[in-house]
A = this chain, B = another copy of it.
Amino acid sequence: MEQTVRQAAELAKQASVDLGTTTGEQRNAALFAMAKALREQTPAIIAANDADMAAAREKGTSAPLLDRLMLDEGRIAGIASALEDLAALPDPLGVIQQERTLDSGVSLQRVSVPMGVVAMVYEARPNVTADAAGICIKTGNACILRGGSLAINSCLAIADVLHDAAVSAGMPKNCIIPVRTTDRSATDDLLKMRGLVDLLIPRGGAGLIQHCIANATVPVIETGVGNCHVYVHAPADIEMARRIIMNAKTQRPGVCNAIESLLVDREFANDLLTAVLPDLAGAGVVIHGDEAAQAAGAAVGVDVIPATEEDWGTEYLDLEISVKAVEGPEEAIAHINRYGTNHSECIVTQDEAAAERFLAQVDASSVYWNASTRFTDGGEFGLGAEIGISTQKLHARGPFALEALCSYKYLLRGTGQVRG
């Protein structure tokens, strides 16, 4: 296995050298060819997906997971359109970021360049195959795509269609390489391909991400785990707070920018919670709370399960929330910095000084004042695409896309200068 992944990485590295000198026009033409091929090969891709779906059903896979796995004509058309949307974005390569003449007379330019080889490790979402391949072609990177075993047939079918279309449109052979085995050791081999893999991005559950971080020797961008909070600080507009809390918790509870925890000033807890807890309970949200939350629940006839220490650190990803009273901004900020995952955090208040302190001191990719955490998204932020949401601070933070798949290099042109 080691050898197979190493061979794939070596082929990708070779491809990356030629990819790095393609023009933006050539890469956009490849994206259009890839979109066209996806549409044309729809029946073959659906047939491959049918095989995955049948195997998944046999294994008793849950309905939401089956839904993520499923491809139909409409979804494939959507994936193809997303490739064309990428083509419309400005070329991220060859941008002169800095330019100066050194004291010696050597001219220096700092220019954006591809990363080289990007490896994507993901779970049962066949669309990630196309999203990742597209964004890598746009940024001149060769990619190695390691999809989950549940989606293996769909991923291979999509990757092969995209590779062949890209090559026909002038991209180098092996610019897109799917890992053809479902053997788990292939992921571990990929994590160690230092010198061949320039960047690895895991996308999936916390288990996959932690495994990659703990074992990788190649550079990794940590993505996605979101233990997000709304903190309500008096004075606050209770109707605004209700709206934001309900949206952030219930609009799509399974995503990383949904909130898992509600903090409120102790003095304001009864006012807020007697209004909000019935909303949450009415939407089917299971509530874990401290004593203040339990008291407010009791006052309005809402069940509140006593929260444990574990609840503060739990990303439920479901209709479930923890609720806690705090003494004020200092305790709220400390709690969030301790239990949060540096993803998206919100304060609801009319107190500008407290809001600005929260914005400054909460250590998260995206910090909100009076708006729902659900906006943390590449599309919403105007990036034009998204490959993940980074919860680390190195290189990329928050939603990331084209810019994060580029590095830079210094080009120095002289006339024989040496250092004195």
List residues of A whose CB falls within 8 A of some B CB: 13, 17, 20-21, 100, 102-104, 106, 108, 115-116, 194, 198-199, 213-214, 217, 219, 221, 237, 240, 243-244, 246-248, 251, 333, 337, 355, 357, 359-361, 363-372, 374-376, 380-382, 392-395, 397-398, 407-419
A381, B371: Cα distance in complex, Å: 42
Q: How many copies does the complex hold?
A: 2
Asked if A108 contacts B374 (CB within 8 A), the reply is no
Q: Is the CB of B381 within 8 A of A407?
A: no
- B214 contacts A361, C-beta separation under 8 Å: no
Query: Which residue of B115, B374, B419 is within 8 Å of A418 (Cβ)?
Result: B374
The smallest C-beta distance from A251 to any residue of chain B, in angstroms, reads 6
A359–B411 CA distance with the chains assembled, in angstroms = 7
> Complex formed: what's the CA distance from A369 to B244 in Å?
57
B367 touches A411 (CB 8 A): yes
Docked Cα-Cα span, A240 to B414, in Å, equals 11
Chain B neighbourhood of A213, CB < 8 A? 194, 217
Cβ A408 vs Cβ B418 within 8 A: no
Query: In the complex, which residues of chain B have a beta carbon less than 8 angstroms from the beta carbon of A408?
Result: 397
B residues within 8 A CB of A219? 392-394
**How far is A380 from B53 in the complex, measured between Cα atoms in Å?**
59
Let me know if B394 and A199 touch, CB within 8 A. yes
Measured CA separation A254–B185 after assembly (Å):
40
Q: Name which residue of chain B comes closest to A105, CB basis.
A: B371
Q: Which residue of chain B has the shortest Cβ distance to A361 in the bound complex?
A: B17
- Shortest Cβ distance from residue A354 to the other chain B in the assembled complex, whole angstroms: 13
Chain B neighbourhood of A20, CB < 8 A: 360-361, 363
User: With A104-B375, A374-B418, A375-B102 given, is the CB distance from A381 to B365 under 8 Å?
Assistant: no
Q: Which residue of B337, B367, B374, B409 contacts A410 across the interface (Cβ within 8 Å)?
A: B367
Q: Is the CB of A410 within 8 A of B21?
A: no
Q: A381's closest neighbor in chain B, by CB?
A: B108
Given A108-B381, A416-B240, the answer on whether A395 and B394 have CB atoms closer than 8 Å is yes
B17 contacts A372, C-beta separation under 8 Å: no
Verify B411–A375 contact, CB threshold 8 A: no
Residues of B near A17 (CB, < 8 A) are 333, 337, 361, 363
A417 touches B366 (CB 8 A): no
Question: Roughly how many angstroms separate A263 CA and B240 CA in the complex, as a whole number?
Answer: 68
Assess the B371–A414 pair: CB atoms within 8 A: yes
Specify which chain B residues have a CB less than 8 angstroms from the CB of A412 in the assembled complex: 366-369, 371, 375
Q: Is there contact, CB below 8 Å, between A214 and B217?
A: yes
Taking a contact as CB atoms under 8 Å apart, the answer to whether B244 and A418 are in contact is yes
